[in-house]
Structure 1
């Protein structure tokens, strides 16, 4: 018989169910993205197969069993939200757990229950991550309980069999014994599948063991990068590189080498980067952007796409740097200029260097043929007006900047 649910609990549940659904959707999107990235960077094969909000009747039933009040049930029950991830192999489980641990800004793992190393008496095997989602709510951070289950295909098969076929409300002892035997047999299959995976994933002993006709993989690309540039590639750059190569329909290591050896494209993209931000591409940027060009409809369109990306990225970088570096108001900026123009000592010299960095961020500093810095005073006034958007005495600001230019630049 269903237990009657208190109105206080139902009202509380209904007040939060939209927030729960919104956060569950966001978590699904995040985890699907991260699983896709893991597939390319580490070869992890997994999919998110289930996401749900626990029904109010089930939450209340568990709350009564554990002795939680109506007001505290939603915060105390550990699986108000639930996610299930199924992966191919045992080694994938560790990659997935590490991935979730890295999402510290949003997901906090409170407890890891390992029923893989220590199966339950009934044969159940899985990893349960008891987490909370950190959600801003009315000027505070609210923690929403969420349980993330991670299983292999074989473990998930056992879970479905035991739930749908083997168990009733009062299973006979024989059924429990059979269930455990099935669990152990499926665990053996997991172990054998992992051995196959380990054998297939054995790395080449040396980078030069990679052959031109070898098919693409994240591991081979990482080796190739190490061989060519004597450096490690960051995993997210590796992910982007692999993604664009797939779009470009590159199939072998030879295809990648041909892209990397395109010196004319390298020169063109370096010049584009220098025009936008003042310095050329580093090695990891080059491998990603040359693949981006190859993935486009033609080279001209691809170069334009890289240019647009660099401009957007640089605008974001400078915007953040300006917000963190510049004084909060134009009045504060003018006061700093006035101080360094009037006083000349060690402290004001340091302050002047900081102001020079402001103008550099605003794009108003250049160098002449001899490497001497030049300040575009007119451009500086315009950039400050655009940045602060306040009513500014342009004549006074121009006078302060020109005096600063004469004294320090």
Structure 2
């Protein structure tokens, strides 16, 4: 809340709009609740699949809420005014979850099971595993809409979920640190692309070995 107040202090359009602060605080509570809803669904799926497969398909679940400054900057970049309605209607990634799995097939299994639930609506899919970015980045991104149940009503909120393997996540962390380091020679990014290719081949091999063991 204090961060938002400091940030709004630099934005004349909200200098006297204390009602916006209260509405924003309520909105962030709803986004946090949407994260809790999805994390619970994922944890239940992980527990069930652990019993069925005798191994845990989900390695970790992390979440985050965009900071007020990032929310405002993204709306302004899109030519939108900063309002509660625009935050809800224009942005899909205010609330985000990152799931890491051991194997590539676990990624697709988890997504298919999640979006098949009656109260989960799949809005968008970007499959960077089957179609990696030029940099070599691989991950499966989905936007889903889910209801959160409050004391007197329910509301629908969208949340971004990124699902990838442990190896993909390790690569993405390294790539992110290189891009923000500055003065990194182009050859480093070329080697990073090569590493992404090698990781993909290694994951295919590990998946084949696992299937041999399971047979």
State the TM bucket, normalised to the shorter chain: 0.7 to 0.9
Q: Taking structure 1 as reference, are residues 67 and 136 closer, same or farther at Cα in structure 2, changes over 3 Å only?
A: farther
1:183 aligned onto 2:183: no
> 2:96 touches 2:159 (CA, 8 Å); kept in 1?
yes
Matches within 5 A, 1:281-300: none
Matches within 5 A, 1:12-161: 12-42=23-53, 43=55, 45-71=57-83, 72-105=86-119, 107-136=120-149, 141-161=154-174
Cα distance in structure 2, aligned partners of 1:79 and 1:30: 19
Kindly state the Cα deviation for residue 41 of structure 1 after the two structures are TM-superposed.
Answer: 2.2
Q: Which has the higher contact order (CA 8 A, sep 6+)?
A: 2
Structure with higher Rg: it is: 1
Q: TM-score, normalized by length of structure 1?
A: 0.45
User: Residue 194 of structure 1: SS of its match in structure 2?
Assistant: helix
1:322-356 CA-to-partner distances (Å, cap 9, x unmatched) read xxxxxxxxxxxxxxxxxxxxxxxxxxxxxxxxxxx
Q: Taking structure 1 as reference, are residues 145 and 10 closer, same or farther at Cα in structure 2, changes over 3 Å only?
A: farther
- Which residue of 2 is the match for residue 316 of structure 1? none
Kindly state the Cα deviation for residue 137 of structure 1 after the two structures are TM-superposed.
Answer: 5.8
Gaps of 5+ in 1: 203-409
> 2:41 touches 2:114 (CA, 8 Å); kept in 1?
no
User: Residue 167 of structure 1: SS of its match in structure 2?
Assistant: helix
Cα distance in structure 2, aligned partners of 1:59 and 1:28: 22
Matches within 5 A, 1:256-335: none
Kindly state the Cα deviation for residue 177 of structure 1 after the two structures are TM-superposed.
Answer: 1.4
Q: Taking structure 1 as reference, are residues 10 and 64 closer, same or farther at Cα in structure 2, changes over 3 Å only?
A: farther
Cα distance in structure 2, aligned partners of 1:135 and 1:18: 11
User: Which stretch of structure 1 is more off in the superposition, 20-29 or 53-62?
Assistant: 20-29
Q: TM-score, normalized by length of structure 2?
A: 0.81
Gaps of 5+ in 2: 1-6
> 2:33 touches 2:148 (CA, 8 Å); kept in 1?
no
Q: 1:163 aligns with which of 176, 195, 201?
A: 176
Cα distance in structure 1, aligned partners of 2:25 and 2:154: 20
> 2:34 touches 2:147 (CA, 8 Å); kept in 1?
no
> 1:44 touches 1:95 (CA, 8 Å); kept in 2?
no
User: Residue 138 of structure 2: SS of its match in structure 1?
Assistant: coil
Higher strand content, 1 or 2? 2
Cα distance in structure 1, aligned partners of 2:36 and 2:141: 20
Cα distance in structure 1, aligned partners of 2:208 and 2:21: 50
Q: Taking structure 1 as reference, are residues 73 and 22 closer, same or farther at Cα in structure 2, changes over 3 Å only?
A: closer
User: Which stretch of structure 1 is more off in the superposition, 23-32 or 121-130?
Assistant: 23-32
> 2:59 touches 2:166 (CA, 8 Å); kept in 1?
no
> 1:63 touches 1:73 (CA, 8 Å); kept in 2?
yes
Kindly state the Cα deviation for residue 29 of structure 1 after the two structures are TM-superposed.
Answer: 2.3
Cα distance in structure 2, aligned partners of 1:39 and 1:14: 37
State the superposition RMSD in angstroms: 2.4
> 2:123 touches 2:144 (CA, 8 Å); kept in 1?
yes
Kindly state the Cα deviation for residue 74 of structure 1 after the two structures are TM-superposed.
Answer: 3.0
Q: Taking structure 1 as reference, are residues 10 and 122 closer, same or farther at Cα in structure 2, changes over 3 Å only?
A: farther
